[in-house]
Structure 1
């Protein structure tokens, strides 16, 4: 028996296992899959740890009262999660009450009762509905439910915000550019009534001072009109 004799033909000898490229690829893929799954668990644990660390001061400060309290006062730093918890559970329950009977009924009808010619288009339509992001249904609800009921209130709030924006001074002065010119681009420098008064009032004399005061009168009038309209809209909502 020569040295070239196959080791597998010798009794008691350890067989030589040669890994094929396919076996190597399978091993690499298995290890990579395990690493990816482990990474998901690590990320989940990291997220949970981050949330616990971030929320621990609140739990330490309020204890069990954080869960049972209904107060959310940012001025006095008093916080309670109970309304949010109830709201979350309520919306989930409402979704189940509406969705479960409907989905079960559709499933039974399609699998047991629907004719073949009708089953495919209905199944396709249901799949399309499932593919639509839930935010779309939320926007639909806002458009057809919330806005018709609260439209006037929203407009009133917008008008109040407009009145506040019209009178804003220093924040606008810092970024508007303070250039007395009209431009077609919102990125070009410009000015507002409030910013012009803030920049020039201290050194103004004579007619310039009168002009700045006149600008103030215009701003006062415009802001007054906007606020009156906003108050009327809000009062109209309160009456109904």
Structure 2
């Protein structure tokens, strides 16, 4: 009789224990949801605070100069006349040079590591590429100033002046004396700095391609290049584009390395060998010396413009990725 009572009590206790566990899990899920929501709202609040602070600090300069702040080249702290055209030009041109050099090299590195690299070399090479991302930007700047710039001044830039500088159409890009420092040097430094970011992402997305797809293409007689161009890239184009845009965002905002080698001249030159400046370099160079509301506000306005440029680039990249995903889904 007692054993029957125990047998009947055990099944009745099990549902209560299960309900207690389910109730505790629902509470945990609820708190987890609230915590994630809080941190998401916190990120948006911080971003909004940054935007409001930049706009508030930039208002005096924007009220004084209006649209002329974006279209004027002059930058004269003595007369308190400021224009952002030269830093904007330098930022865009150095980033363009960095992408033109960095993207093909990154693609070659990723292709070699995933398709051609022997197994004994693959891991050391991957570690070496990723270590480039850990080098502080000021080290890149010092290396660029004392090693790369003298080499460019004595070897590369004279060659460019006497060859490409004589060509019609593009010759103006390589005119002028070989300073060593300048827009081209800054662009090359940036291309080295974005290499680990782009190549690592490309390598990772290349490795997500199912091996059966590549083996099928090889079985049909395709070459390595045909497999990459017609199988690997179409399959991973969304990730590749995202990696390129990540590198572009890195290039747009780089400060110290560019400050060392660009020459920090507030002027626009048709030659990429000439000194120039970028938005981030101008802020880093002059913020500690800014005296007066107009000067300080102009530097903050430069930061607002850099924020707007970066946001626009990333928004365009996101829109492009969504279109690519939609097209792939269709």
State the TM-score, normalized to the length of structure 1.
0.51
With over 3 angstroms needed to count, the CA separation of the structure-2 counterparts of 1:140 and 1:120, relative to structure 1, is: same
After superposition, what is the alpha-carbon deviation per residue over 1:89-129, rounded to whole angstroms, capped at 9, x for unaligned?
A: 11111211221111000111111111212212111111111
Structure 2 counterpart of 1:59: 62
How far residue 43 of structure 1 moved from its aligned partner, in angstroms, is: 0.8
Aligned equivalent of 1:87, options 85, 90, 93: 90
Are 2:115 and 1:112 aligned?
A: yes
With over 3 angstroms needed to count, the CA separation of the structure-2 counterparts of 1:113 and 1:147, relative to structure 1, is: closer
Structure 2 counterpart of 1:221: none
Are 2:79 and 1:72 aligned?
A: no
Higher relative CO (CA 8 A, sep ≥ 6), structure 1 or 2?
A: 2
User: What is the total number of aligned residue pairs between the two structures?
Assistant: 134
In 2, Cα distance between the equivalents of 1:128 and 1:75?
Answer: 44
With over 3 angstroms needed to count, the CA separation of the structure-2 counterparts of 1:98 and 1:75, relative to structure 1, is: same
How far residue 23 of structure 1 moved from its aligned partner, in angstroms, is: 2.6
In 2, Cα distance between the equivalents of 1:133 and 1:30?
Answer: 37
How far residue 145 of structure 1 moved from its aligned partner, in angstroms, is: 4.3
1:29-44 equivalent positions in 2, closer than 5 A: 29-44=32-47
How far residue 30 of structure 1 moved from its aligned partner, in angstroms, is: 1.5
Q: Secondary structure at the match of 1:75?
A: coil
How far residue 146 of structure 1 moved from its aligned partner, in angstroms, is: 5.4
**Bigger CA radius of gyration:** 1
With over 3 angstroms needed to count, the CA separation of the structure-2 counterparts of 1:65 and 1:38, relative to structure 1, is: same
State the TM-score, normalized to the length of structure 2.
0.38
Structure 2 counterpart of 1:144: 147
How far residue 21 of structure 1 moved from its aligned partner, in angstroms, is: 2.7
Relative to its length, the structure with more helix (as a share) is: 2
How far residue 76 of structure 1 moved from its aligned partner, in angstroms, is: 1.3
1:209-228 equivalent positions in 2, closer than 5 A: none
Aligned equivalent of 1:28, options 28, 31, 36: 31
In 1, Cα distance between the equivalents of 2:121 and 2:148?
Answer: 32
